[in-house]
Structure 1
Amino acid sequence: MWRKAFLVVLTFLAVLSFAKTPKDTLVIAGNTEIFITLDPAVCYETFASAVVEAAYAGLVKIEPVNGVFTPVPELAEKWEVVNKGDVTEWIFYLRKGLVFANGDPLTAEDVVFSFKRALTINKSPAWLFNELGLTAENMEQTIVKVDDGTVKLVTKPLAQSIVLSILSGPWAGVVNKKVVLANEVNGDLGQTYLTDKSAGAGPYQVIEWKRKEQVAMQANSRYWRGEPTLKRIIIMDVPEETTQFLLVQKGDVDVAWNITPEQAAQLRETKGGPVRLIVTASQSNEYVAMNAQWGPFKDERVRLAIKYAIDYDAIIKSVRRGFAILNQSFIPIGYLGFSNNNPFKRDVEKAKQLLAEAGYPNGFEVELLTNTTNIRQNEAVVIQANLAEIGIKANISLMPASEMYAKYRQQGTQIIVAGWGIDYPDTDNLAKPFADYRVKQLAWRNMWYDDYAADLAEKAGLEMDNNKRVEMYRELEKYWMEKGPFAMLYQPVNYWAVSSDVVGFEKAGEGYSLIFDFTKISKK
C-alpha cells in the first residue's frame, strides 16, 4: 500500500520544482548499474553493500569510538575469547528475544547456517572467512551451535579486532534459515531468492528492487535497537551525475550519490544553500611504488629521493581538486595506530643529494606505468615532471587497468602509480599488503623482501593487546617510510550532494565504502 502511495508522491514531485520529499523518507538518486545481488553471501559491490548492511545484522558491527573504527556488540551482546595456542575459540552469546524482520526467532542455528552458507556458496566474500581460518572443509568443526543462544567459532590465533572487524562486514549478516531454505531452487541455498529480497534482522528490509528503476527499503519495526527514524529509503536509478545533481537541487531527491568533482567543488564554495556537500575519508589510498629489485631502486636512498621529489600538495590540489587528504602512511584515518605523520615534502635539493650519494648524480631512465583513467594519467604527468627536476627521465606507459594489474602481479613493473582498496576496517588489512612480502600482495609485487618489516606486520596481526599493536604499527610505519618502496600520495575522499534537511549523513557515511549506517540519518 505504502509503495503505491509513495509512487504517487514521486510523480507529483517530478513536476514541481523545489518540492520536498516526505519527512520520514530518504530519497536517493544514484547509479545502481553496479548492483548485481543483495545476497550477503555474494554481494561485494560498494553501493549495494550499503543496502545489504541495512537489511542484515551480524554478531558485531563497526562504530567510530574515539576516532577509531571499533567492533561493538550487535546481535551478540558479549563474547569470550580463549587462546589455545595454534587456534582461538570465540564464544558469542546472542541477545535474548532476537527476531527477524518477518517475526521469526533468530537463534544460533541461523548464525551457523549463514556462515556455512557463505563458505559453501564460495563467492567473493568467502575469502574473508578463510582469513579467519574458517573454510568449507573445516566448517563443521570451526562453526558450531552450542545452544540456541550461543555460537562457537574456532579461528586462527589473530588479534581480536581483526576477527571482529571481519565479522562486522555485510557478508557476515545473518539470514533467516527457514525462509532461505523454503525458497531454495535446485540447491542454490536461496541465492536466486535473495538476489532482490532480504531475509535479515537489520534495521531495514528490502521491499522491492526493480532493476534500472529503484530499490525500496522499509524500516524494520522489530529491529532489536528499535525502529529507525527514517521509515522508508528509496534509491532511484539515475545513471547520469548531472541529472542526480539537478534533482537534489530541485528538492526532488534528498541525496545525489554520484556527483562529479566539478559539482562537488561548486558546492564546496556555496554556504548556507538548500544543498550541502558531505565529505568523508575513503577506505582506500593512492601510491607510487618502486620495484626494489630493479636497477637504481635496489638502493633505499634512491627510493627515498623519489619520496622527496614528489609534490604531494600539487597532486592533491591540481589532480584531485582538493578532494583528497595528505596521508603518507599505510595506516588510514580512523584505523588503529593512525598518527597523522607526514614527513615528506617536496625538496629537490635533498632528493638530488640522495641520488648523488647512491651513485646516480645524473639520474637515470625508468618506465612509469599507470592505467588510462584521467586521474592516474594526470598524476603520472605531475610525477614525471617532478622526477625530471632531479634528473630522472620517467617514460609514461599507459595500459588498461586489467593489463596493468596483470603485469604488476607478475612483478613486471619498474615504477607504478596505483591504488589500494581496503577490505575490512583493521590496520592488519594494510600492514600485511604493504609490508609483508610473504602474503604475496603489494610488497611482494614490488619485490621488497624485507624480513624485519614482514615479521613486524605478522606479529602485530597476532598481538592481543591493542596498546602493544599500536606500538608495533608505529614502529613499522617509521621503518616503512624510510626503507620501503612506496611513496603514499594521499587518502581519497567520498563526497555526496545532500539536502540541508537531512541530518546525520556525515556520521552515516563515516567509514564508507566499508561502512554505511542509515540509522544515523534523520530529516528536519
Structure 2
Amino acid sequence: MKKSIISLLLVIVLLLSACGQKTETEEGKDVDDILQKPQITGDETEQEDEAQQEDETQQVDEMQQENEIQQEDEIHQEDEGSAPLKVGALFSPDDTLDPTTVTSPGGMLLMMSIYDSLVSMHYDGPTLRMAESIEANETLDAYIVTLKEGLVYSDGVEVTGQDIIDSLQYIAAAPHYQSMYGNLDFDKTTAEGNQATLALKEPISDFIESVLAMWSPVAKGGIFDGIGAGGYVYDKGDPQTGYVLKANEKYYAGKPAIPEVTLLNIPDSASKARALQTGEIDYAWGLDAAAVQILSQEDGIELQEGSLDGATALELVLNTRVAPFDDPEVRYAAKLTVDREKLVTTLLGEYGEIGNDMLGKGFATYPEDIEQIKMDKEEAERIFAEKGITEITIVTSDTIPGLTNATKMMVQDFADVGVNVTVEELDPQTFFAQMGELYQKSAFTFYWMNRTPLAEFRSQVLKDSPYNVSGYYSDLTEESFKKAITTNDKEEQATYIKNISQDIHENGGELIWGYQKDISAQRKGLKTETNQSVPWLATATFVPEK
C-alpha cells in the first residue's frame, strides 16, 4: 500500500514537474529569440510538420501510459484498503512496552494497539474484544472468561486462559493498578485451555464494567515484551522518536485495514495542530479550543464530534493531606472562588461543560440532581480572611492542553478574594513521574478520563488507592462503595453512588471545574471508533481524500 501511494505521488510530481518545465520554457522565450529564428520554407516545413506530429503522438502515448499507471495505483490502493497513518500524541520519557510503566495518553494508545483488551467500555455498555464471553457466578465472587476460538498472538502462538491469569497478576502488582485488580484472588484463580476463572476476594457486581472493561491486556506468560494479540505489532521506536507499528496479520478481527501506524511524540496542542496542517501527521489526538479555531478553517481536515463518554474531567486538586486544604472550610472557599463558567467558555468553548466536583457526568448513574456549586466570591473572601489564608501555591502542567491557562485564570479569581497564588509549571512529559512529590503540595492540576462513577470511585475515593489524588476519604464513602459493588439491585446501587458523590461534592478535595469533550482532528478519509477517548486503530480505515 505504501509503495502504491508513493508511486502515485511520484507520478503526480513528475507530471507537475514536466508541465511546469514546459510552461517555463515557452513563457520564458524572448521576443528577439523568436524574431531571430531562421525562416523555414518548402521541404523543411514538411519535415518539421512530420517531426511535430511524431512528437505529439509520443506525448499522447506517454500521457496514456501515465494515466494507466495512475489508475492501476488507484485500483491497487482500493484493493489493499487504507493508507498508512501518522498520529500525534503525548508520550512520557518513562513509557516502555510494559504497561506498568506507562503514564501518558500516547503510551496507552500504544498499549491498546499492541495488547488489546478482553473487553472495553463504551457509553452504552461493555464490548467484548479478545473475550468471547464473560460470565459471573451466582455469588458474584468469580467470573469465567472464555477467549475467542483460535485467538493467537502476532507470532502465531495460541493465547491461553493461563496467560490471562499471568497477565492480570503482573498488572495487579503495579501500584497504579491495585485499585482495579487488587480484589483478584490469584490463589483460587484457575485456567483450562482458553478459559480462565477469575476468583475474587470479595463479591463485585460491576467487575466487567469497572475493572476488566477499563483495560485488561494479555501477554504470553504475563511478560509484556511487545508481542500481543492486538491489532498492531511493534516494529521500532521509543517515546522520544516515536513508534512504528505494523498491522497484525493474525488479528482476531482480521488484519487491520491501516497497514502501518506511526505514533509521534508531540506534547502540546499547538504543535499537533501545525503538524496536521503541514501533513506531518494525519491524526491529532488531544487538542484544545485554540487549535479548534485554527483547524476548523482547513478544508482537508475535520474535527470529531465530542461526547461526554470520551471526555476529560479537568480538576484543581485541593490536597487534603497538607495545609491549608486539610481544612474542609478552606476547601469550600476555594470551590466558591473559581469562575467555572468563565473557564469553560474561554478555554473549552462548544467542547466544554461545567463541572460540579463529581466524576461520571453523562453516564446514567451520575447524580444530576445534586445542586451545582456556584461562584460566591464574597463568601469565599470571608472564609479565607477568617482562616488567615493569604497565599497558596498551585503546581500546573499541560498534561491536557489548557490546564496551565486555566491555572493562570484562577490566579485572578483568587486575587479577587484576597489570596495570592504562586504558580509552578512542570513539564507534561514528566508530570506523572512526580506524583509522590505532588502529594506534598497544597494544590495541583489533574485530569480524569470520564468513566462511570463507580469505576472512578475505585481510584478517586478509596483510602489505599494511589490515585486518590486529593487524599480525601471517609467512612461513608468506604462503606457505601462496598455496598454499591456487592449489590445487583440497580436502584439500590444508584443510591450508594449518590451518597458517595454527595460526600465528595460537599467535603472532598476535588474541584472539578469542567469537562472537555474529546477534541481530536484528522485528515478527511479517516474513520475510527474510540474507547474511553482512545482511538481504536485496529478497526479504523484511512483513505485520504484527493
Is the pair's TM-score, using the shorter chain for normalization, greater than 0.5? yes
Q: Name the structure 2 match of 1:174.
A: 218
> What are the Cα deviations for residues 38-69 of structure 1, in whole angstroms up to 9, with x where unaligned?
3456555422332332333443222331xxxx
**Structure 2 Cα separation of the partners of residues 250 and 368 of structure 1:** 42
CA distance in 2, matches of 1:124, 1:224: 31
Residue 182 (structure 2) aligned to one of 99, 118, 131: 131
1:24 aligns with 2:75: no
Distance 2:288 2:312 in 1: 19
Residue 253 of structure 1: how far off its partner (Å): 4.7
2:285–2:521 Cα contact (<8 Å) kept: yes
- Structure 1: which 5+ residue stretches go unaligned? 178-188
Distance 1:38 1:284, change over 3 A: farther
C-alpha displacement of 1:155: 1.5
Q: Is the 8 A contact 2:116 2:228 kept in 1?
A: no
Question: Is residue 31–residue 258 contact of structure 1 (8 Å, CA) maintained in 2?
Answer: yes
User: How many Å separate the matches in 2 of 1:64 and 1:336?
Assistant: 9
* TM-superposed deviation, 1:486: 3.5
Q: What is the distance in 2 between the residues matched to 1:461 and 1:174?
A: 25
| Closer, same or farther: CA 143–387 of 1 in aligned 2, 3 Å | same
Aligned-pair CA distance for 1:226:
4.2
What are the within-5 Å matches in structure 2 for residues 206-285 of structure 1?
206=233, 208-211=235-238, 212=241, 214-220=243-249, 222-228=250-256, 230-235=257-262, 237=264, 239=266, 245-246=273-274, 248-249=276-277, 253-257=281-285, 262-268=290-296, 270=297, 273-278=299-304, 280=306, 281-285=310-314
**Which of 92, 105, 108 is the aligned partner of 1:49?**
108
Matched, 1:430 2:481: no
For residues 284-337 of structure 1, the C-alpha deviation after alignment (integer angstroms, 9 at most, x for no partner) is: 43135264985797464x644443332102122335566543221422345452
Name 1:184's counterpart in structure 2.
none
- Post-superposition CA distance 1:409-461 (Å, at most 9, x none): 34x63xx2421445x9453353355444465764863xx56432342234324
Which stretch of structure 1 is more off in the superposition, 310-319 or 370-379?
370-379
Counterpart in the other structure of 2:530 = 509
1:365 alignment partner, SS class: coil
Q: TM-score, normalised by structure 1?
A: 0.72
Q: CA deviation at 1:275?
A: 0.5
Matched residues in 2 for 1:277 and 1:325: separation? 18
Aligned residue identity for 2:492: K
Query: How far 1:258 sits from its partner (Å)?
Result: 6.0
Distance 1:210 1:77 in 2: 32
Native 8 Å contact 2:203 2:486 kept in 1 = yes
**Counterpart in 1 of 2:51?**
none
**Structure 1 residue 75 corresponds to structure 2 residue 130:** yes
Q: How does 1:247-326 map to 2 (within 5 A)?
A: 248-249=276-277, 253-257=281-285, 262-268=290-296, 270=297, 273-278=299-304, 280=306, 281-289=310-318, 291=320, 298=327, 300=329, 303-319=331-347, 324-326=352-354
In structure 1, the partner of 2:40 is none
TM-score (norm 2): 0.70
CA contact (8 A) 2:83 2:258 kept: yes
Q: 2:201 pairs with 156, 169, 177, which one?
A: 156
Q: Distance in 1 between matches of 2:473 and 2:112?
A: 38
CA drift of 1:376 comes to 5.0
Contact 1:380-1:417 within 8 A present in 2 as well: no
Match of 1:409 in 2: 439
Match of 1:181 in 2: none
Conserved in 2, the CA contact under 8 Å of 1:336 and 1:427?
no
- Residue 215 of structure 1 deviates from its aligned partner by 0.9
Cα 1:471–1:39 change in 2 (3 A) is: same
AA aligned opposite 2:218: V
Match of 2:499 in 1: 475
Distance 1:61 1:488 in 2: 25
Residues 380 and 396, structure 1, Cα contact 8 Å, conserved in 2? no
For 2:314, give the aligned amino acid.
Answer: N
- Residues 105 and 421 of structure 1: is their aligned pair in 2 closer, same or farther, counting only changes over 3 Å? same
Matched, 1:519 2:543: no
SS of 1:25 mapped into structure 2? coil
CA contact (8 A) 1:337 1:470 kept: yes
Q: Please say if residues 330 and 430 of structure 1, whose CA atoms lie closer than 8 Å, have aligned partners that are also in contact.
A: no
SS at match of 1:160: coil
SS at match of 1:80: strand
The alpha-carbon deviation at position 236 of structure 1 amounts to 5.4
2:483 corresponding residue in structure 1:
459
- Give the counterpart letter for 1:143 in structure 2: T
Task: Tell me which of 177, 188, 205 is aligned to 1:142.
Answer: 188
**Alignment partners' CA distance in 2, 1:402 and 1:208:** 27
CA apart distance, 1:90: 1.9
2-side partners of 1:485 and 1:113: how far apart? 36
Does structure 1 conserve the Cα–Cα contact (< 8 Å) formed by 2:518 and 2:533? yes
Aligned partners of 1:326 and 1:342 also within 8 Å: no
Going from structure 1 to structure 2, the CA distance change for 1:169 and 1:101 (only over 3 Å counts) comes to farther
Distance 1:442 1:308 in 2: 22
RMSD in angstroms over aligned alpha carbons? Answer: 4.4
Identity value in percent: 14
* Partners of 2:178 and 2:465 within 8 A in 1: no
Distance (whole Å) between structure 2 residues aligned to residue 480 and residue 382 of structure 1: 24
CA contact (8 A) 1:158 1:464 kept: no
Structure 2 residue 464 is matched with structure 1 residue 419: no
Contact 2:314 2:514 in 1 (8 A): yes
For the pair 1:500 / 2:494, whether they are aligned, the reply is no
Determine the structure 1 residue equivalent to 2:143: 90
Q: Shift of residue 381 of structure 1?
A: 4.3
| Aligned residues of 1:336 and 1:470 also touching (Cα < 8 A) | no
Q: Which amino acid aligns with 1:276?
A: E
> In the alignment, which residue of structure 2 is the partner of 1:182?
none
Q: For the Cα contact (< 8 Å) 2:85–2:282, is it kept in 1?
A: yes
Larger radius of gyration: 2
Q: Does the 8 Å contact 1:29/1:256 carry over to 2?
A: yes
For the Cα contact (< 8 Å) 1:116–1:143, is it kept in 2? Answer: no
8 A contact 1:438–1:454 mirrored in 2: no
CA contact under 8 A between 2:141 and 2:201: conserved in structure 1? yes
Give the AA of the match of 1:61.
Answer: S
- Give the residue type in structure 1 aligned to 2:378: K
**CA distance in 2 between partners of 1:352 and 1:160 (Å):** 45
Q: Which amino acid aligns with 1:71?
A: P
Unmatched runs of 5 consecutive residues or more in structure 2:
17-69
Change (3 A) 1:111 1:385: closer
1:71 touches 1:165 (CA, 8 Å); kept in 2? no
* One-letter amino acid of the structure 2 residue matched with residue 173 of structure 1: P
The alpha-carbon distance between structure 1 residues 334 and 509, as it changes in their structure 2 partners (threshold 3 A), is: farther
